[in-house]
Structure 1
Amino acid sequence: MQLFIGGTCAGKRGVVRQRFEEPRWHSAHAGGRLEAWPSVADTSCLVLEGWERWIGERLAAEPDDDRLRQAMARELDALRDWEVAQGGQAVLIVVEMGRAVVPLGRENRRLRDLNGWLAQDATARCERVWYVWNGLVKGLTR
């Protein structure tokens, strides 16, 4: 797996389009549900974006942050298993939310916390991590 992380409108999608040949997109922004990604995984390169929306959709249904984080981690593990079984490449696009003002509302704070944990969990599972800022790309190491 590869992770592309950066702020909103930082150029992540453009960088992914340049680096991967014929990627198949599964996006929350286009109405895709996270758990539906296997239905579009008939490709050599699967791009998943909109993680902040997928987290946001689950906030009301799951009051326990640890359980929600574990559910998201299971999705990451399933993607990694798909890569091994199919020989494909999963590409994650995640919005970095940790550098701005922390909102007062509880649900908005939960969203930022869970998005940050998702980024950490994805980083631990990805072979490459890229930070995108103003269209510039920098490879990160652990």
Structure 2
Amino acid sequence: MYFVTGGSFNGKSIWVKTHFNLKETDATWIPLFSGERIHLDDINFSNSVIVIEGLEYGIRSTILNNDSEVRKSFTILMQTLKQWEEEDPDRRVIWIGSEVGKGIVPMEKLSREWRDMTGWVYQDLAKMSKQVWLVWYGLATSLKG
């Protein structure tokens, strides 16, 4: 698995398309920006590449739906997708998530919970990922791999 993080609107998706040489039809793109929750049943596994984009919004949506096991839910999802990826050397799962909070602790409870949970899920994802990049202003720095 691969994880790309960085600032909002800093070119992460474009960098992923360029770095992995992807066209829209080469991959199943799953955008979570509109508050969608991600479920395995909703993923189209017909392509060998799956890109999950807007991970921070998927985490927020899960919190808003009163899922008390947010971190566990994402860990199970990540483990399942990692296993799918490892079954075929041509498969890739690429996660894209923006940095939340930049170290500033929000005053509002929900915003704090979202920032904290996003940080924990990103740590779990970074541990499971083969490579991790930080993208700012279209420039990538390798953090792992």
Report the count of equivalent residues. Answer: 140
Q: 2:5 matched to which residue of 1?
A: 5
Residue 133 (str. 1) matches residue 136 (str. 2): yes
Distance, in Å, in 2 between the alignment partners of 1:58 and 1:98 is 18
What is the TM-score with the length of structure 2 in the denominator? 0.86
The answer to whether the 8 A contact 1:26-1:48 is kept is yes
TM-score, normalised on structure 1?
A: 0.87
2:79 corresponds to which letter in structure 1? D
Using the TM superposition, give the Cα deviation of residue 37 of structure 1 relative to its aligned residue in structure 2, in angstroms: 6.4
Structure 2 residue 58 is the aligned partner of structure 1 residue 54: yes
CA distance in 2, matches of 1:106, 1:32: 21
Change (3 A) 1:23 1:123: same
Counterpart Cα distance in 2 of 1:11 and 1:43: 23
The one-character-per-residue Cα deviations of 1:96-118 (angstroms, maximum 9, x if unpaired) are 11415321111110000011011
- Structure 1: where are the runs of 5+ without partners? none
Contact 1:12 1:93 (8 Å CA) reproduced:
yes
Contact 1:51 1:94 in 2 (8 A): yes
Please say if residues 26 and 40 of structure 1, whose CA atoms lie closer than 8 Å, have aligned partners that are also in contact.
Answer: no
User: Per the alignment, do residues 37 and 95 of structure 1 end up closer, same or farther by CA in structure 2, a change over 3 Å counting?
Assistant: farther
Flag the 1:141–1:19 CA change in 2: closer, same or farther, 3 A.
closer
Asked if the contact 2:33–2:58 (Cα under 8 Å) also holds between the matched residues in 1, the reply is: no
Match of residue 24 from structure 1: 28
1:62: Cα distance to partner? 3.1
Alignment partner, residue 116 of structure 2:
113
> Match for residue 104 of structure 1?
107
Residue 85 of structure 1 is matched in structure 2 by 87
Deviation readout 1:24-74 (Å, 9 max, x if unpaired) = 21111367541046531211111001212211112133364xx21111111
RMSD in angstroms over aligned alpha carbons?
A: 2.0
5+ long unaligned stretches in structure 2: none
Displacement of 1:138 in angstroms is 0.8
CA distance in 2, matches of 1:94, 1:141: 16
Question: Secondary structure of the equivalent of 1:93?
Answer: strand
Q: Are the counterparts in 1 of residues 133 and 140 from structure 2 also a CA contact under 8 Å?
A: yes
The question of whether the paired residues in 2 share the 8 Å contact of 1:17 and 1:23 is answered with: no
